Amino acid sequence: MIHPRDARRLLMDWFQSARRDLPWRRTRDPWRILLSEVMLQQTRVSVVIPYYERFLDRYPTPAALAAAPEAQALALWSGLGYYARARNLQRAATEIAARGVFPTTYEEIASLPGVGDYTAAAVASIAFGSPHAVLDGNVVRVLARFTAETRDVQAQSVRVRLKEEAQRLLDPARPGDFNQAMMELGATLCLPKTPQCLLCPWRDHCQARALGREQELPVKGRKREPVKLQITLLIVERESGAKRFVLMKQRGAHESRLQGFWELPEERDLPHAVRGVRLGEFKHSITRHDYTIEVFTATLSRAGRGHRWIAMDSLDSLPLATTARKALALRNDLYTP
């Protein structure tokens, strides 16, 4: 069994040469680190980068986000998913702005809304050099293989053990770099399906590899069956002066998801609508709901309850559901081939 000191050295030396140049690695500003970590929750680096740049450009400080209308922040988050992250981040920004300074300890950071174990450890270690190991999906996979953990990694007891292992390996001198190195290893070499063991700094010390079982680990419990659904969206347009408007509906604050987001009307909600052209269909999944969505143009003599006419050129500034974004793209393809 390799000594933690030696494992650390191998990992850190590898990271120095393999480290990707990412926007949030060019700063120690805790606000920027926090923003990146929240956006990266269950979201890949390549997807986050453009959102991170736009969001930071608009809200360079907690105070800037705290002062913004929620709908504006959601509009900038629109398409990234898990919108509770944006709401919670704004609440966190409000607390930080009121406090005057960014909290510096793990406990204070962890008390912010939307900040759990992972994010608190990441911010505390990367921005403030606190010795807290992170345990994200990457680290779980790396350590499950490194230690040949064959139990279900979803189980609480196993997560606790892996967290202890991460903490044991953590480089106390450079915890932020160590955490990022672990995640980098998981994201670039210790891949779920096709681990690149020959390039791994731990190739000679990985227990799963020694057993030839690196492809099988980590073991994860089954997920629930997705629910298949079919809906029809309607694009109802109206011209007034030089402006074009489209009929839309805003989701209420009490809904379980996409609160406050604008969507296109469903056909079943507009019994008086008359179908026009079929624009096409697409698939869209929201957590475990797999939608097949068919899109038609339509005409309407009277607007249905709860629907509103939205100017086409103002859609960019609204929190727009991705279903609406995709459906409107079908329409635009038709008019500008």
Site of interaction with DNA (CB under 7 A): 22, 24-25, 36-37, 40-47, 78-84, 88, 113-120, 122, 136-138, 141, 154-157, 180, 183-184, 186-187, 191-194, 220-221, 223-224, 226, 256-258, 284-289, 321-323
Nearer CB in complex with DNA: 121/270: 121
Unique residue bearing structure tokens 């489209």:
246
Dist. CA 194–CA 186, nearest whole Å? 11
Q: Which two tokens stand for residue 211?
A: 């057993």
C-alpha distances (whole Å) from 136 to each of 20, 121, 183 are 18, 10, 8
Q: How far is the CB of 254 from DNA (least distance, A)?
A: 11
Query: Where do the H-state alpha helices sit in 189-337?
Result: 207-210, 322-335
Taking only Cα atoms into account, the Rg of the chain, rounded to an integer number of angstroms, comes to 24
Nearer CB in complex with DNA: 160/173: 160
In whole angstroms, what separates CA 91 from the centre of its chain? 18
Residues in the chain: 337
Q: Which two tokens stand for residue 185?
A: 């290893």
**Backbone dihedral angles phi then psi of residue 125, each to the nearest 5 degrees:** -80, -45
Q: How far is the CB of 234 from DNA (least distance, A)?
A: 18
Q: How far is the CB of 36 from DNA (least distance, A)?
A: 6
Q: How far is the CB of 317 from DNA (least distance, A)?
A: 16
Dist. CA 89–CA 70, nearest whole Å? 11
* CA-CA-CA-CA dihedral for 320, 322, 328, 332, to nearest 10: 110
Q: Which two tokens stand for residue 133?
A: 């190991």
For 310, the enclosing helix (H) or strand (E) is strand 307-311
Nearer CB in complex with DNA: 159/244: 159
Nearer CB in complex with DNA: 227/334: 227
Q: How far is the CB of 225 from DNA (least distance, A)?
A: 9
Confirm whether 108 is a catalytic residue.
Answer: no
Nearer CB in complex with DNA: 5/222: 222
List active site positions.
37
